[in-house]
Structure formats: structure tokens, C-alpha cells
Amino acid sequence: MLAVIGFTTIQRVLAFGSAISTQGPLTTTTGYMSTSDRTNLLILGYGGGSHDGANLTDSIVVVSMIPSSQHTSLVSVPRDLWVRNPPNSNAYTKINEVYQTASNNSQNRVAGGDAMATKVSLVTGMNVKNWMLIDFNGFKSFIDSIGGVDVYVPDSFNACYPKNDDANKDASWIKVQFNKGTQHMDGATAIEYARAREPVEVCGMGTSINQAELTDFGRSARQQLIIKAALGKIRNITTWPSLINAMNALQKTIYTNMSFADLGLFSQKMDLNDPKTAHIGLSTSNVMDISTASDGESIVIPKGENWPLISEYIQSKLYN
């Protein structure tokens, strides 16, 4: 009986590895996993579903790690960064539209992931080849499947949040508030914390507390915290039933160009509990400026439109 259970479990793990990746589950290119060469994984979070904006990557975070030392850095790229899109054109959009354009609204996820990796490499000066897509709809179930996450909220704030991601189904709002300190979050709460962006005045639900948290830069910092908490929690799963539950939720949530084997090695090598882990955010306090596009929308650009400033700043802050 134990042999049957073990064989069934192995089959389930291999099927999961095949479903979430462009690579075979046991394919590996792990020669770099014992070197001092920096390895980067681009994590892209998008809303999912079929409503307008479902394929905009609102979370753009590079997990950068040196395998030999396990030194890890998290680098957030503002979703409102103004970039050429498509490449070799005269058109510009926010960087969060690059995946949507290249993937044809997730019809070709590989093309979308590759396009974002290329664009982020160009902007940051980092060599980004590996990517992972996270559908926020499924991410809620994943967080619930691992029993929620503990997140330290550095600053209190409140916000309006859509009652339904699809305004055509329900255009009403709810008010969310997060108080400074450690909070245990279920899936829905974690997504609200990561994505909240509208002041409470928008929905007529009171007076804002700390609107700075609702900027593109504030959201980027919060998304780092949720990603760090989730990666740390799944890394510490120790029982097969818990692992199977997590895999069932993740199979509908993530897609990556890393094999299951390499993804496992990467997650074991990175050390997010190291107090020296670098949390790097691009903001107006360092190298970014707020500007206005020709159509009037608010965008983010480097100070003085000096693009090398971004890569220089990131290189100066990486945990080496």
C-alpha cells in the first residue's frame, strides 16, 4: 500500500511539474547553482479572468540570487514605467502592458514572459532569462492552501478596493484597512494588501490614512512583502498532504520557463530570512520621477530621462 501511495504521489508531482512549465519536470540546467554567478527570476503577477486589464502585470519583481552564498535581493519595477512597446516601434506604453501585448492577452504566455524578461533586462541592466507568471485569482487559493501568510505591515493605511475585479459584474467598492504590525492574512486579504491603490475618498468611505502607500512605489514594496512571505511559507512545507494541497492550488496559478527541478533548487538556494536581504524599490526617493504622457495619464520615468541611472542604482544596492 505504501508503495502504491508513493508511486501515485510521484506521478502527481511529475504531472504538476509538466503543467506549470515550458520544460520537462526533470529537465535541469543546474550547473550555475553552485557558482557565484547571479541568477535572476522575474515574477509577474496579473489579475487573470476575462475583464478589461486582466492581463496587465501589476506586480513586476525580480528575485536575484547568488547560489554560492545564497545572498538574495528583491527588485521591484514600477508598473507605470513608460517604455517602448512593441519593441522597434515608435509606440510607448506603461511596462505593465508589455506582457499583454506580446502574449496577445495570454494566448501565448511564453511570448509574453520572454518579452517581459527582455524588457526588464533592458531597463534594469540585469540578465533576466527566467520568468514566472502568477494569476492573482489563483494566488488567493494558493495562499489559503498553505494556511495563510504572516506579513509585517510597516505602515498603517486604508484604501478602497473593488468588490469584484470585473466591474461589469459588480462596480461597488469595499473599504480595507491595514494597521502597522504583524498580521496573519488569508488569500483574499493578501491580494487586497498587495494590490490596493484607490484612496477611500474615491468610494466615499471616509478620509485617507497614508496615501503614499497607494502609489505605484508603495504597491511595489507591499508586493515584495507578500511574495517573500509566500515563498518562505511554501519552502517550509514538510508533509506530503500539505505539498499536494499547495500543488493543486498552484497548478492553476503559475506558469514558468524554469523546470520544476530547477525551480525547486532555486527556492532552496535563496535565503529570504537573511536580515541583509536587499529590498530594492525604484521610486521618487531615488532615481524615478512622476511625469505625464501625451494622453494625460500619469507615468514613471527616470530622473532627467537618464535611463542608466536605474541600472546603476540597482547595482549599488544588490546584496553581493
Report d(CA 31, CA 73) in Å as an integer: 21
One-letter amino acid for residue 170 of the chain: D
pLDDT of residue 285: 94
* Mutual angle of helices 136-145 and 216-235, in 10-degree steps: 40
How buried is residue 88: exposed, middle or buried, by Cβ count under 10 Å (0-12/13-18/19+)?
A: exposed
pLDDT of residue 308: 97
Going from N- to C-terminal start, the domains of the chain cover 2-22+38-155+230-317
Q: How much is the average pLDDT of 80-109?
A: 95
Report d(CA 164, CA 144) in Å as an integer: 19
Report d(CA 38, CA 116) in Å as an integer: 19
Q: Which grid coordinates are listed for 4?
A: 502504491
pLDDT of residue 98: 98
Q: Which pLDDT tens digit goes with each residue over 264-296? A: 889 888 888 888 999 999 999 999 999 999 999
pLDDT of residue 5: 43
User: β-pairing, 39-46 with 173-178?
Assistant: unpaired
Report d(CA 151, CA 157) in Å as an integer: 15
Whole-structure pTM value: 0.89
Q: How much is the average pLDDT of 189-212?
A: 91
Q: Which pLDDT tens digit goes with each residue over 27-53? A: 887 666 666 689 999 999 998 876 668
pLDDT of residue 32: 60
pLDDT band at 244 (very low <50, low <70, confident <90, very high): confident
Q: Which pLDDT tens digit goes with each residue over 288-316? A: 999 999 999 999 999 999 999 999 999 99
Give the CATH number of domain 2-22+38-155+230-317. 3.40.630.190
